[in-house]
Chain A
Amino acid sequence: AQTVTQSQPEMSVQEAETVTLSCTYDTSESNYYLFWYKQPPSRQMILVIRQEAYKQQNATENRFSVNFQKAAKSFSLKISDSQLGDTAMYFCAFMRAGGTSYGKLTFGQGTILTVHP
């Protein structure tokens, strides 16, 4: 079984600054995907970024980037130039690759991020 751990229940950052959210995971799988999802007060799940485990290069999406350390099983999210609209709960998630497992996500506990003006 896989486990995903987010050790920061809450984080806060000033607008325009940079913040890093931590995530570690445990798995015996060699091929998998990792995700960061954002859940604003509307409760809609929004994909922030996705990383394939076989890719060594860290994924980036505009102001969002990850630091993927496969050996350490660490997958942190860096948000640069934080904006008020980034205020949300952020979930790290794991998914096995292939077959019937594709689409089944294991989520971390979540980190509530508040961006202050």
Chain B
Amino acid sequence: GAVVSQHPSRVICKSGTSVKIECRSLDFQATTMFWYRQFPKQSLMLMATSNEGSKATYEQGVEKDKFLINHASLTLSTLTVTSAHPEDSSFYICSARDAPYNSPLHFGNGTRLTVT
């Protein structure tokens, strides 16, 4: 079945540094990917929609300069948390869909980011 690989699964970084998270579709081409953020025991909140070859669309309240999204190929989207601070510590999950309308959605395994 279709698989979305997210890397790394865990990352610890120091305050002020940047962290890149990768979301890769392994056996299908994902023209659109989505990035969500989840705090412990809370819901998933959509951060942005990543479109191959064009700028990402950010949800209201999400700082686009803080959370840089790049979708340079049909199989890879990256989320870079720039100048990370402890409040950016969270669980980040990506999802992807294949090109045909009504195709199922596939989630990555998530990345736990801890900023010290």
Contact = CB atoms under 8 A, between A and B. Distances in A.
B41 A89 contact: yes
B81 to A, nearest CB: 18
Interface string B48-82: 01000000000000000000000000000000000
B44 A43 contact: no
Interface string A75-117: 0000000000000010100000010101111111110100000
B104 A105 contact: no
A44 interface: yes
A11 interface: no
B97 A103 contact: yes
A43 B46 contact: no
A91 B44 contact: yes
B34 A107 contact: no
A108 B45 CA distance: 10
29 contacts: A42-B109, A43-B91, A43-B93, A43-B112, A44-B107, A44-B109, A44-B110, A45-B44, A45-B95, A47-B104, A47-B105, A89-B41, A100-B32, A103-B32, A103-B49, A103-B95, A103-B97, A104-B34, A104-B49, A105-B36, A105-B44, A105-B95, A105-B105, A108-B43, A109-B42, A109-B43, A110-B41, A110-B42, A110-B43
Interface of A: 42-45, 47, 89, 91, 98, 100, 102-110, 112
